[in-house]
Amino acid sequence: MTVARMLAVLACLAVPALPAVAEEVDLELVLAADGSGSIDADELALQRKGYADALVSPEVQRAIRSGLTGKIALTYIEWGGPTSQHVIVDWAVVHDLASAAAFGEKLVTRPRAAYGYNSISNAIDFSVGLIERNAFEGTQKVIDVSADGPNIGGREITAARDDAVAKGVTINGLVISRPGGVVRRVQGEPLTEHFRRDVIGGPGAFIVTVDETTSFPEAVRRKLVLEIAGPEPQAGPRHAGPGRYPPVE
């Protein structure tokens, strides 16, 4: 190899690789669903189908199209105990009916993976990491946490919440009341109060409460519409109320 050729090769090696350009989307959304031991197989299937159906619904499709780019980046995880957080469907761009249906098809066919009980805090940390490492740049960054019980294991829930909010991530909550039972209580408080005080955070953060299993699909649709194209951000958290198509306060 001649000296000139060697110098040319060295010059090429010295040039740093250009960073990949992040794809612009209206929203980076992590759907962080409860897959803990308190969620049985039928409930897990109901959750997944609820999200899959919501994505192809006219309401959610209109919300997606209403954005500046007309597309969102989406991933679905299930979580359980402190060491159990699992990507069920990896990041994908959803921009039309076909891409939404493709995401939903993967979601309803993937095997269950989570185990253990209710580390919402570690699920939040895991979700923040997914947002930080993805290939997208969204106007909004949201973690959508669903659960039928309080935070049990992992690090302090308010610390996880505060760290996420400091990084520009909003956390919304979907509180699931088990069929035929009552909303679980934390230190004598309703689970919704635990979510309001300790879990959700960021501009316009809100809670939706599912009162019974049959209301889950509609509550999910309503929640996704609010997250994708919802009302103007308000100061402090909101509670979107219980039941079918809960009102926004």
The answer on pLDDT for 154 being more than 70 is yes
Of the spans 7-11, 89-93, 239-243, which averages the highest pLDDT? 89-93
- pLDDT for 139: 94
- Predicted local distance difference test score (pLDDT) of residue 180: 43
Is a pLDDT exceeding 70 seen at residue 30? yes
Residue 246 is predicted with a pLDDT of 36
pLDDT digits (tens, 9 = 90+) for 3-17: 556 555 555 555 455
Q: What is the pLDDT of residue 3?
A: 57
Catalogue all structural domains in the chain, each as residue range(s) with its CATH number.
30-242 (3.40.50.410)
Cα separation, 203 vs 225, whole angstroms: 16
pLDDT at 147 over 50: yes
- pLDDT tens profile 178-223: 544 445 666 678 889 999 999 999 999 999 988 765 568 889 999 9
pLDDT of 21 reads 83
Question: Does residue 235 have a pLDDT over 50?
Answer: no
What does the pLDDT average to over 97-109?
98
pLDDT band for 20, please (50, 70, 90 cuts): low
Mean pLDDT of all residues in 120-145: 97
How much is the CA Rg of the chain, to the nearest whole Å? 20
Question: Scanning the structure block, which residue is given the tokens 């088990």?
Answer: 178
- pLDDT band, very low/low/confident/very high, at 38 (cuts 50, 70, 90): confident
Distance, in Å, from the CA atom of 135 to the CA atom of 56, rounded to the nearest integer, reads: 24
Mean pLDDT for the chain? 85
111 confidence band (pLDDT: 50, 70, 90)? very high
